[in-house]
Every structure is written in structure tokens, then in C-alpha cells.
Amino acid sequence: MAARFSQTTRSLAQDVSRYASITWTVAGILLGAWLLWFCFGTVTVYEISDKARLEVRQTSHHVAALVAGKVASTSLAIGKDVQAGDILVELDASSDRLRLKEEQARLDAMPGRIASLRREIEVRERARDDDLESASAAAESMKSRLQEADAGVEFAKDNERRLAKLNANGWATTVEATRTATEARKLAASRDALASDLRRLQFEAQSRAHQHDAEIENLRRDAVALEGEMATTQATVGRLTVDIEKRLVRAPISGKVGDAVPLAAGAYVAEGKQLATVVPNGELMVIADFSPSLTLGRVRPGQKARMRLDGFPWAQFGTVSATVNRVASEIRDNLVRVEFTLDAAPPNGILMQHGLPGSIEVSVEEASPGALVLRTAGLLLSRPQNNTVAGLVQ
């Protein structure tokens, strides 16, 4: 049997050995190439976030009602262009407007009343001055008459003394001496009466001056009270104006109405209720939220990224390239906020607008496959150890 099929056996042995060598050689080459790639090749490591969206660089503003009230009119419409200060919703302020008209009418009348009091004060002051001048003139006239009476009294007394001497020498009769003495006393009494009239005139002038001063002071007090009431009314007008302004919901910035609550005239709006969102016009950027453990220390400004939009399949429309601009250093809601700057115009067919969601991949490093395998193995091996240590601590 062995001798009969010896050639066939040798042929089969030689055939199997040749193909096997080629196969093992190719396999060795592929294995070596794979080992070289595994140890020295590089692959790009990405950190991925499914919570990414397009936003304008300037923050959107929410529009809310400052006070509660009934809607009088509204011009809210999604997509409407608005300018800063435009009235979006007007709440009913009829009672405040009527009160404002009432206070404004009262305020308008007060300057005239105050001016009238000021003029009356001036008239009273002039009357007081005129009265004082008149009293002074009367007093001067009375003083002149008093001086004249003093002169008459002196003359009568002097004449009385002369007649008394003549009567003592027998040159004048007693009747004449008595008549002269009586005339001197009458003149003295008249002089005393004039002096009393002068004092009365001075007291009356002083009393009238005090009365004028009291009336002027009352008028001044009324003017000050009116000025205080005017200031209070002005404050009331200002407060009512502010209250009316609070019932006008205005656009805080220029832009487009991105969201709006359906409202109709007569609807009731609660205080603080959000009515609309105004999206400003400006440059778009990408905002994404990442896990802190995979982001902090790894995602840095300047790294390249690509965004896939949910509404535009990337296989058909492609991706949008971006660059990391800023990375938050604080954690909020167990997430880290990262901002990206768009690098170029979007691919054809993609409409870039505020609020468009998607996912984003950030190129964080270049590493060999072997290093990535070792890193993954290290992480897997460290987990049970951490759990064991945690159990021991507990």
C-alpha cells in the first residue's frame, strides 16, 4: 500500500506544505502590520454630547407680565420682527388712566393757585408797608402838633409867672392872674391829650402791622401747603404713570418672537406669567452639555468639533464644523456647558436657526489603539477595587 501510492503521498505532502507556507506568511505579515498599527498608529478620540443646540450669541429674553390684569390688546405673533420698546401686549389700565387724568387736572391747577397766593402776599406786604408809612406820617404830624402845644404851654406858664409877680406888686388884678393860670392848665391838658393820641396812634399802627404779618404768614402757610400738595400729586402722577407702564408689555430687545402664548382680548394674565421669548438677531453658536468626568481637563478651547443636526441626516447633508470657544468651570445640573464657534457656512440645504438641536463630537486627543485598550482595561479593573474600598469604608 505504501509503495503503491508513494508518489501520490509525496505529491499531497508537497502541495499542502506550499500553500500553508504562503498562508502563514500572509497571516504573519497582516498580524505584524496590525501590531504595528495597534502599538504605533493613532486614532482620534471624540467626546460626544447628545444635548447640543444652536443659539444666537446674545442671550434670548423672556417677556413676562409685571402685574396681573386683563388683556386689552396684543400683537404677539411667532416669527414677528420687533424692535426694542415695541408694545407686545397691553393690559387693561382704564381705572389707572382715569385716576391719572384726575391727578393731572389737579396738578395743572395748582401752579395758578400758588401764583395767586404769591400775588396776594405781595399785595398784603405792600398794604402793610403803606399802612406803616401812613401811620408814621400821622405820628410825625402828631409830634409837630405836640411840639406846638409844648410851645403854647411854655408861653402860658411864662405869662402866668409874670402876672403873678405883677399881682404881687399890685400892678395886675387877681382875675387876670387867675385867667392866665387857667389858660396855662388848659394848654397843658391839651398837650397831654395830644401825647396820649400819639401813643394810641403808634399802638394802633403796631397792631395793624401785626395783623398784616399774621395774614401774610397764613397766606405763606397756604402756599407752602399747596406746594407740598403739588409735590405729593406729582409723586402720585409718577406712580400712576409707572403703574400704567407696567401694564404695557414691551419687547426688551430687537429681534424675532421665537415663542408666544396664545392670547386674546379679555384673557386674564397672572403676575409674572411668561408671555413670549424674543430671540435677538446675531451670530449663531453651538451650545452643548457634557458629562463633567469626560469634559473637565480634556475639552479645551481651540479643539475641533463636528455637529450632526437632528433634522438633517448627516449621511445626506453632512456635518457642521465648529471649534471649542469656551468651557465652563462650574458644574450645573451635573453637566458642563461648552460653547462652540461655527467655522464655516453650513452645507447646502441646511437652514441654520436658533434652537436647532443635534449632537456634537469634540476631537480631544490622538492616541494609539493599544493605549486606548490599556486605558479601558485600567478603568474596568479599577471599578471593582473602588467598589470594594467603598464597601469596606461602609
Residue 78 is placed in which grid cell? 411667532
Beta strand pairing status for 274-280 and 284-290? unpaired
Please indicate, yes or no, whether residues 175 and 272 belong to a single structural domain of this protein.
no
The reported pLDDT for the residue numbered 241 is: 92
30 belongs to a structural domain:
no
Please indicate, yes or no, whether residues 82 and 188 belong to a single structural domain of this protein.
no
CA max distance for the chain: 223
7 belongs to a structural domain:
no
Please indicate, yes or no, whether residues 145 and 230 belong to a single structural domain of this protein.
yes
Please indicate, yes or no, whether residues 78 and 215 belong to a single structural domain of this protein.
no
Number of structural domains the chain divides into:
3
Residue 204 is placed in which grid cell? 394802633
- Residue 47 class from Cβ within 10 Å (0-12 exposed, 13-18 middle, 19+ buried)? buried
The reported pLDDT for the residue numbered 391 is: 37
Please indicate, yes or no, whether residues 302 and 371 belong to a single structural domain of this protein.
yes
34 belongs to a structural domain:
no
The reported pLDDT for the residue numbered 371 is: 67
User: Which residues have a Cβ under 8 Å from the Cβ of 359 and sit 6 or more positions away?
Assistant: 48, 49, 50, 52, 307, 308, 310
9 belongs to a structural domain:
no
The reported pLDDT for the residue numbered 103 is: 92
The reported pLDDT for the residue numbered 7 is: 58
Please indicate, yes or no, whether residues 210 and 329 belong to a single structural domain of this protein.
no
The reported pLDDT for the residue numbered 158 is: 72
Please indicate, yes or no, whether residues 234 and 271 belong to a single structural domain of this protein.
no
Residue numbers of the domain that contains 226: 95-246
Q: DSSP assignment of 141-206, as one string?
A: HHHHHHHHHHHHHHHHHHHHHHHHHHHHHTSS-HHHHHHHHHHHHHHHHHHHHHHHHHHHHHHHHH
Please indicate, yes or no, whether residues 121 and 239 belong to a single structural domain of this protein.
yes
Nearest CA among 100, 49, 390 for reference residue 245: 100
pLDDT tens, N- to C-terminus, the chain (394 residues): 455 555 555 555 555 555 667 777 878 888 877 777 777 767 777 788 888 998 888 878 889 998 999 999 888 888 888 998 899 999 999 999 999 999 999 999 999 999 998 998 898 888 888 888 887 877 777 777 777 777 777 776 777 677 666 666 666 566 666 666 677 677 777 777 777 777 877 788 888 888 888 888 998 899 999 999 999 999 999 999 999 999 999 998 888 888 888 888 888 999 988 989 888 887 888 999 998 877 888 888 988 998 888 888 887 888 888 999 999 888 888 899 999 998 877 777 677 888 889 999 988 877 677 666 777 777 677 665 444 333 323 3
The reported pLDDT for the residue numbered 292 is: 86
Interatomic CA distance for residues 309 and 205, integer angstroms: 100
11 belongs to a structural domain:
no
Write the CA distances from 101 to 70, 227, 243, integer angstroms: 21, 19, 14
Q: Which of 233, 258, 276 is the last residue of a domain?
A: 276
Query: Where do the DSSP E strands lie in 248-369?
Result: 248-250, 255-260, 268-269, 274-280, 284-290, 304-309, 320-327, 336-342, 357-367
